[in-house]
Structure 1
């Protein structure tokens, strides 16, 4: 009788313990899934950061190559220089005149070489890539002060605006992006600058202005990455009831 009671007791305890063990197993599975999801998410974030860095690097290389091509094109269009200067005309006899004293020589600043311009731009862009936004702002500002007419000036204004945008200095960012749109209308950076003007207006709650800039990108630059970004932000604004 005692043996049978003991068996019954073990069976009853087993029935009660089974749900507890199942719950414990389920909790362990959930914890494992959470850890796995967190690790996968972290790997995805790290990969995304790496891809963004690679894209910025490629953009910098493309811009440098574009500048070099422009320099070669300008050199190819330069007028040819004669190998020998023309023989001077033989002057006839003239009455001697009193010549004024020679003026002091004027020191003229030599124009910056394309290599110096390219190096200064690359140094500023490297600061931006490395996340040194204050240093990038200083470097791009100095570049634009020294080389305001350089072929890379529009690009410098754009990346200056990007640095200000990351720091959430939207007023300064807007001024830099407007420089691209207003003073370099033929630049390839105009579409991106208009997108960022729309983003700035969005961040400041100026919905109609943001809509105007973004729609301009969609209409003027169809099929481009900038147009897709503008369309995505417009759709977001519609979903949020802002336009």
Structure 2
């Protein structure tokens, strides 16, 4: 009963306060927004007190007042939102760091590939040089004594026979004699339909022994007119590699540009070597 009396007294006091607050004011002194909000809050309190009193009267049970949303709860929610924002900022930073590391890894992989291609090219040159030295040593052993070298045989009357003899020497690994045979074919049969191909194989024998200047000249003669033959793309590539060896990188890059333009369907091995040659020449 004491609680009920207290609540009734509070209710009546609040009602009186609201009544006073709701008394119309003179037109010259209207309520501002702040006063209007205070009136609304007091009305809400009156409604809540009235509900509490009626609940206690009707049920006869103790009244449990459930607190509304408090500033503390709102503050806790704000803290959680702040924590989530900090976590998101941290994750964004980690993502940027991961992207940076991935970019570095890609660049490192590209550098490794360029070095591997350069090493492959050097290894190929060393292998060819070794093969040339072995061939030269074998020819030295088989050569007759000084002063007894017989004169070179007369070229065959049939260009096809001369070409086959030169090609057989090349396939046998006798690069020195193959070089002479293809050189003689070019000189003796300039009008032959296989003259350009003979220049290509002549360039190959020169390239093997790293005579890059002479090899470049032979390759240029072979690809004049950009022949659509099986050896055309390889001759263009070898010309570019010879120019790189001669430190004529600008000309080498132009030759590689023509290679992709003139022979778009070049074999995969040629395009792969062309890519590594571009790296060696530092083409843009």
Alignment TM-score, normalising by the size of structure 1: 0.47
Which of these two proteins has the greater Rg computed from alpha carbons?
Answer: 2
